[in-house]
Structure 1
Amino acid sequence: MVTFFVLSLLFIIHFSPVTAQILASWPGLQGEWHLMHESIGISAMHMQLLKNNKVVVFDRTDFGPSNLSLPGGRCRYDPNDKVLKTDCTAHSIMYDIGTNTFQALTVQTDTWCSSGAVLPDGTLVQTGGFNDGDHVIRTLAPCNGENCDWVEFPRALSQRRWYASNQILPDGRVIIVGGRAQFNYEFYPANFHVSSRSSSNSIWLNFLRETRDRYENNLYPFLHLLPDGNLFIFANTRSIVFDYKQNRLVREFPAIPGDYSRNYPSSGSSVLLPIDENTNQVEIEVMICGGASPNSFQMAARGTFLRASSTCGRLKITDQEPAWKMENMPMPRVMSDMLLLPDGNVIIINGAGSGTAGWESARNPVTRPLIYNPDRQISNRFSVMSASSRPRRRLSDGFKPGIVFSTLFVAQHDPLRPTIIRIDETLSYKNLFSLTFKVSNFLKMSVVSVRIIAPSFNTHSFSMNQRMVVLKRVEVSRVGSDDYLVTAFAPSMAEIAPPGYYLLFLVHAGIPSSGMWVKIQ
C-alpha cells in the first residue's frame, strides 16, 4: 500500500484527506510543512516513483562532486569530464518512502536534462543527457539491496537526446521526441515500423523545426497520449495531433493566446485533465499554465527579470472546433509543477514570479501552492494554500546539493476517508473487477468513484506520462457494518491507459483512500 500523499510523484505531500472544496470553505485549514531530511546529498533534477514505493532521484554528473559518497569505494571515471575526471560521489539515490531512508546509486554517464518513462513491467527507462550521456539509454528495475543499480547502454539512441520528452505508448513502447536542435523522434525499443523515408531510427518531425523560437528553443515539448492512439504535442505556443504510426500531422490547433512561450526555458507546465469513462462520450482536455516571455532568458543575463505569465489555457481536443479558454492564476509562475490529485483537482506548486529557467535566471520564488478545481465556475477555481518556509522545487529546495523532503498536513476528516481492504492486483482491459473498502461515515453511493493514476517522470516542470482515468463504476453494495463492495470496469483500452503499474484510489465524497498498486494489462 502507498498512501495518498504519494502523488504522481515528484514530491511527498500528505494532504490528509481534505479536498480543495473543503480548504476553500474552511480558511483555517491551511496546513504546514514538515522537514523529512535536512539533506540527502544530491540535487533532484529528475525523479520517478517506482512500483516498490521507492523514488529514484538523480542529477547531472558534470558539475563537480555531490555531498554523498558512493559506498564500497566505488568511483566514476570520465577522462572527458572538464570538472572532475575521477568522481567517488553519488549523483543518484533511491529513496524509500516507507522507511524514510535512501541509498546511493551509480550513474556512469551524464544525465543532465534527460527524460524517462516506465515500461509495463515497472522498469524505468531513462534516455539521453549531455556529453557522454546524450546517446545513452539507462534502465533501473524496481529492486532492493546492494545489487540494485542503474544499467547503462552507450550509443543506444540514434540521435543526441538533450531536453527531449518521452511518452509511453499503448503497445508498451516509448516514443522519444525532440531535444536541443533535434527535429525528429525515435522509439524504444527501436524496431518500430513507421511510414517514413528515413533509413535511420530517427524520424523527421517538421513541427519541431517550425516551433523553435528565435533563440532556437522549444525544449521538453509537452506530450500527451490521446484515446484515439495519436499524440498531442505542444511546443512554445503551438500544438498538434500527430499520428506517429504513419508519421503524419492529423490536425493543428490555434496557438495559445498571449505573448508567452511555455516550454523550456520559458517552462510552463501541462497536464491532461482526468479521463472519465463514466461519460457517454469521453472528453479530452489539456491544460497549460505559466511560462515566460521568449526573451526572458536573454534579459535575465542582462540583469532584467521579466514578469512570468499568470495565464492558464484549457483546450478541449474533442470539441468540434477546439479553442483555448484562458484564465488567470492568483500569481505569475514560471518553473512550476502541475500534479493531478486523486480527487481530480490539480495542485500547482513551486516556481518563480519573474525571470525564466536555467542558470540563476529567475527571481521571486513562489512558496504558495495552488489547488485548481477544473469543475468549478471559471472565477472560483483556484484556492491558495499556505506557504512553505523556504523556496522548494518538487521534493527539493532547488538545484543545489542538499534536498529537502517535506510533508504538508491539514486537519483530519477520517470518518469520511475510505480504506481499501481487498482488491485484485492485476486488472485486464474491459473486464469487471471488485474491491472492498471500509469507511466510518458512508454518505451515499453516488459519491464513490474509482481512479487510477500513472506515476510520472518529472523534470523541468513537466511530469511525463502523468495520467488519471476515472474508471466506469457499476455498483456499490454494503457487505458489513462499515464495509462496502465496489464493482467497476478496468480501462476500456490501452489508448486510455497504457499497460503498466498504476496507483488506484477509492474516492468517497471527494476524499481519497490510500493508493494501491495495480497492474493494467
Structure 2
Amino acid sequence: MHMQLLHNDRVVVFDRTDFGLSNLSLPKGKCRNDPQEQVVKVDCTAHSLEYDVASNTFRPLFVQTDVWCSSGAVFSDGRLVQTGGFNDGDKTIRIFNPCPTCDWQELTDQALAARRWYATNHILPDGRQIIIGGRRQFNYEFYPKSGAKNLYTLPFLSQTNDPGAENNLYPFVFLNVDGNLFIFANNRAILFDYTTDKVVRTYPQIPGGDPRCYPSTGSAVLLPLRNLQAPSIEAEVVVCGGAPKGSYQEAIKGNFVEALNTCARIKITDPNPNWVMETMPAGRVMNDMIILPNGNILIINGAALGTAGWESGRDPALNPVIYKPDNKVGSRFELQNPTNIPRVYHSTAILLRDGRVLVGGSNPHIRYNFKKVLFPTELRLEAYSPSYLEAEFSNLRPRIVSPESQTKVMYGQKVVVRFQVTATLAQDLVSVTMLAPPFNTHSFSMNQRLLVLGPTKVSNLGKLTYEVEVTTPASSILAPPGFYLLFVVHQEIPSEGIWVQIL
C-alpha cells in the first residue's frame, strides 16, 4: 500500500495492520498487543518490511499502530517521517532511520493535531512537512510543529468535498517555483501561501468537471523544472486519468463506469493559465505517474473501469504508457508492452536508482484474499524496465565516474560530473537531472520532483571519458533540502543514479 526509496537503496514497504495476519513473522519476541485492534489483537506478524534492491532480500519491520491510508515524506537527513492512518494510528507520527538494524519508532510523546486518514504530505523549503487534508479534515498542520497553533482551516478542502464520494482525498500538492503550494482536489486547484494562510490564486476548473482525486483516483505530476538559472522559471502540472462523477456510487451498485481517458495540463506560473486537454491511448483509474530520469513520465497500474475502493475496479490496465512532455500535442503518448499482473486498488510504483521502476501491491479486499476472487491479494513485486534499459542502448548509456555517491552539495554550487560513454557522444544531447524520490501511495507520489540542471558544455577528456559542469538549484524553493538521485542523460538514455544531499 505504501513505498519509499531511501538513500541507502533500501525500499520501505508497509501495509495496514488490520487486514489480519501476514505471511512474514516478526523477529522472535516481538508482537503487537493492541486492545484497540479490530481484527487480531495479538499479532506476531510483520506489516512492514525493508527491501534491499541489490540483494533482492528483505527484513521484517515492526510497525505498531495502524498505517492504513497514511502519508509521509523524507526529512533532509534521510529519515522517513510517516504520519497518520486509521484507528489507533490516525494521529501517530512514526520515524524510520535508514540503517542496517533500524526499525520504526513511534513517537508516543508527540501526536498530530488532527486525525490524518488519506492526507498528503509535502516537504517545505525550510525542511518541515506540511500535512494537508484527510477524511473529514478540511485543514492542515506542520511537522515539526511551529508556534503554539498547529491546526489551520483550509476552506478549499470543504468546498471540493463531495458528500457522496468525497473525491478530495489525497489531494495533489506541489511546491511551486514561487514558494507557494499548488493544491489540486476533486476538479479544482488553488495556489496557496502557507506562510500567510491565504489563497493567492484560484485556477480554472478542469474541463469537463470530472473528479481526479480519491476515490475517483487519477494521478498528477509536476513536470520537470528547467532553465533553473533563468530570471523566471516555468512550472507545469499534468493530471491524468480518474473516474467520471458518480462512478463510486455506481460501482457500489455493480455498475463499473469507463475511466477517464484524458490528461489535463496547465502552466501554473502563467498569469492567465488554462488547462490543455490531451487524450491517452485508453481510459485509466488508479494509475501511478512516475517521473523517469530522462524527464519522461511512466503511467502504470490501474483499471479501465470503476474507481478506487473495495471491489470497485474492473478491466485491469496492463499496458504501461510513456508520456513525453516535450513532444508536440498528439504525439506524446507511447503504449508499452503489457504486464500479466493486474495492479488495481492499493498498488504502488517507485523509481529505483538503476532506472527500473519497482511495482507492487494490489489488494481490493477488506482482508487478504487469495482464492475465488477476481483480483487476488498480490504479493509479487516486479521491476518494470523502461526501453532505455534495453541492450541496444547500452553503448549510449553514461556511467558516472565522479563525484561519489552520497556527496553533499550546496545551493547554487558548481558541480563537475565526470562520466564515460562507449558510443560517440552527442554533446548537445547531454543533460544532468536531479530527482527527489517520492512517497508513493494510492496513485500519488508525494514530493516527486525532477530538476534539469542543464544542457551545458561537455569536455572530452579522452578514453571515452567526459566532464560536464552544472550548477545546483539556487534555493530550497526549487529543491527542498534532502537526498536526490543525480543522473547523466545522453540521447534520453540515463546513467545509473548517484545519491547527492543538498543542504
Specify the code of the residue in structure 1 equivalent to 2:424: F
CA deviation after TM superposition for structure 1 residue 227, in Å: 1.2
Please give the alpha-carbon distance, in whole angstroms, between the structure 1 residues aligned to 2:197 and 2:361: 41
Specify the code of the residue in structure 2 equivalent to 1:61: T
CA deviation after TM superposition for structure 1 residue 474, in Å: 4.2
* Structure 2, unaligned runs of 5 or more: 349-358, 369-376
Please give the alpha-carbon distance, in whole angstroms, between the structure 1 residues aligned to 2:228 and 2:86: 44
Q: Which residue does 1:233 correspond to in 2? A: 183
1:183 aligns with 2:134: no
Q: Deviations over 1:359-393 (max 9, x none)?
A: 01110100000001111111111100011012133
CA deviation after TM superposition for structure 1 residue 444, in Å: 2.6
Please give the alpha-carbon distance, in whole angstroms, between the structure 2 residues aligned to 1:397 and 1:187: 29
Aligned to 2:362, which of 398, 420, 428?
398
Q: Secondary structure at the residue paired with 1:468?
A: strand
Q: Deviations over 1:188-234 (max 9, x none)?
A: 00025xxxxxx741101111111101324410000000111100000
Alignment check: 8 A CA contact 1:350 1:367 kept: yes
Alignment check: 8 A CA contact 2:431 2:456 kept: no
Aligned to 1:456, which of 420, 433, 438?
438
Specify the code of the residue in structure 1 equivalent to 2:227: E
Specify the code of the residue in structure 2 equivalent to 1:313: A
Please give the alpha-carbon distance, in whole angstroms, between the structure 1 residues aligned to 2:228 and 2:418: 20
Q: Which has the bigger relative contact order, CA under 8 A and spacing at least 6? A: 1
Alignment check: 8 A CA contact 1:93 1:105 kept: yes
Identity %: 54
CA deviation after TM superposition for structure 1 residue 456, in Å: 0.2
Alignment check: 8 A CA contact 1:218 1:236 kept: yes
Q: Which residue does 2:451 correspond to in 1? A: 469
Q: Secondary structure at the residue paired with 2:457?
A: strand
1:261 aligns with 2:261: no
Alignment check: 8 A CA contact 1:290 1:333 kept: yes
Q: Deviations over 1:37-75 (max 9, x none)?
A: xxxxxxxx0110000000000011112111111121311
Q: Which residue does 2:152 correspond to in 1? A: 203
Aligned to 2:3, which of 44, 47, 61?
47
Q: Which residue does 1:486 correspond to in 2? A: 468
Distance change in 2, residues 1:153/1:294 (3 Å): farther
Q: Deviations over 1:382-423 (max 9, x none)?
A: 100011012133322512555212134453111111000011
Q: Which residue does 1:350 correspond to in 2? A: 301
1:292 aligns with 2:243: yes
Alignment check: 8 A CA contact 2:167 2:211 kept: no
Please give the alpha-carbon distance, in whole angstroms, between the structure 1 residues aligned to 2:43 and 2:228: 53
1:303 aligns with 2:254: yes
Specify the code of the residue in structure 2 equivalent to 1:328: T
1:162 aligns with 2:113: no
Specify the code of the residue in structure 1 equivalent to 2:408: T
Please give the alpha-carbon distance, in whole angstroms, between the structure 2 residues aligned to 1:317 and 1:79: 48
Q: Which residue does 1:75 correspond to in 2? A: 31
CA deviation after TM superposition for structure 1 residue 260, in Å: 1.7
1:246 aligns with 2:200: no
Please give the alpha-carbon distance, in whole angstroms, between the structure 1 residues aligned to 2:456 and 2:440: 34
Please give the alpha-carbon distance, in whole angstroms, between the structure 2 residues aligned to 1:80 and 1:120: 34
Alignment check: 8 A CA contact 1:261 1:292 kept: yes
Alignment check: 8 A CA contact 2:286 2:443 kept: yes
Q: Secondary structure at the residue paired with 1:72?
A: coil
Please give the alpha-carbon distance, in whole angstroms, between the structure 1 residues aligned to 2:476 and 2:124: 8
Please give the alpha-carbon distance, in whole angstroms, between the structure 2 residues aligned to 1:509 and 1:369: 22
After superposition, the CA RMSD in angstroms is 1.3
1:99 aligns with 2:70: no
1:421 aligns with 2:401: yes
Aligned length: 469
Q: Secondary structure at the residue paired with 1:451?
A: strand
Specify the code of the residue in structure 1 equivalent to 2:218: G
Q: Which residue does 1:13 correspond to in 2? A: none
Q: Deviations over 1:126-158 (max 9, x none)?
A: 00000100000000011103xx10000245101
CA deviation after TM superposition for structure 1 residue 268, in Å: 0.5
TM-score (norm 1): 0.88
Aligned to 2:161, which of 212, 221, 226?
212
Q: Deviations over 1:87-118 (max 9, x none)?
A: 11100000001110000000100000000000
Alignment check: 8 A CA contact 1:474 1:489 kept: no
Q: Secondary structure at the residue paired with 1:89?
A: coil
Q: Deviations over 1:488-518 (max 9, x none)?
A: 1011111010010000000011110001000
Please give the alpha-carbon distance, in whole angstroms, between the structure 2 residues aligned to 1:53 and 1:354: 35
Alignment check: 8 A CA contact 1:128 1:160 kept: yes
CA deviation after TM superposition for structure 1 residue 278, in Å: 5.2
CA deviation after TM superposition for structure 1 residue 476, in Å: 1.2
Structure 1 range deviating more: 274-283 or 431-440: 274-283
Please give the alpha-carbon distance, in whole angstroms, between the structure 2 residues aligned to 1:217 and 1:448: 41
Q: Which residue does 1:32 correspond to in 2? A: none
Q: Deviations over 1:253-286 (max 9, x none)?
A: 0000124211100111000000013574421000
Q: Secondary structure at the residue paired with 1:108?
A: coil
Please give the alpha-carbon distance, in whole angstroms, between the structure 2 residues aligned to 1:428 and 1:473: 20
Please give the alpha-carbon distance, in whole angstroms, between the structure 2 residues aligned to 1:270 and 1:237: 12
Specify the code of the residue in structure 2 equivalent to 1:396: G
Please give the alpha-carbon distance, in whole angstroms, between the structure 2 residues aligned to 1:402 and 1:149: 25
Please give the alpha-carbon distance, in whole angstroms, between the structure 1 residues aligned to 2:24 and 2:482: 33
1:371 aligns with 2:322: yes
Alignment check: 8 A CA contact 1:278 1:473 kept: no
Q: Which residue does 1:31 correspond to in 2? A: none
Please give the alpha-carbon distance, in whole angstroms, between the structure 1 residues aligned to 2:323 and 2:48: 32
Aligned to 2:107, which of 153, 156, 169?
153
Aligned to 1:503, which of 485, 492, 495?
485
Q: Which residue does 1:433 correspond to in 2? A: 415
Q: Secondary structure at the residue paired with 1:380?
A: coil
Q: Secondary structure at the residue paired with 2:250?
A: helix
CA deviation after TM superposition for structure 1 residue 351, in Å: 0.3
Please give the alpha-carbon distance, in whole angstroms, between the structure 1 residues aligned to 2:271 and 2:228: 21
Please give the alpha-carbon distance, in whole angstroms, between the structure 2 residues aligned to 1:82 and 1:325: 46
Q: Secondary structure at the residue paired with 1:93?
A: strand
Distance change in 2, residues 1:446/1:278 (3 Å): farther
- Residues 324-363 of structure 1: matches in 2 within 5 Å? 324-363=275-314
Alignment check: 8 A CA contact 1:473 1:487 kept: no
Q: Secondary structure at the residue paired with 2:12?
A: strand
Please give the alpha-carbon distance, in whole angstroms, between the structure 1 residues aligned to 2:241 and 2:229: 30
Please give the alpha-carbon distance, in whole angstroms, between the structure 2 residues aligned to 1:453 and 1:255: 29
Please give the alpha-carbon distance, in whole angstroms, between the structure 2 residues aligned to 1:398 and 1:108: 22
Please give the alpha-carbon distance, in whole angstroms, between the structure 1 residues aligned to 2:267 and 2:146: 34
Q: Secondary structure at the residue paired with 1:342?
A: coil
Q: Secondary structure at the residue paired with 2:330?
A: helix
TM-score (norm 2): 0.91
Alignment check: 8 A CA contact 1:291 1:308 kept: yes
Please give the alpha-carbon distance, in whole angstroms, between the structure 2 residues aligned to 1:57 and 1:294: 32
Q: Secondary structure at the residue paired with 2:22?
A: coil
Moved over 6 A (4+): none
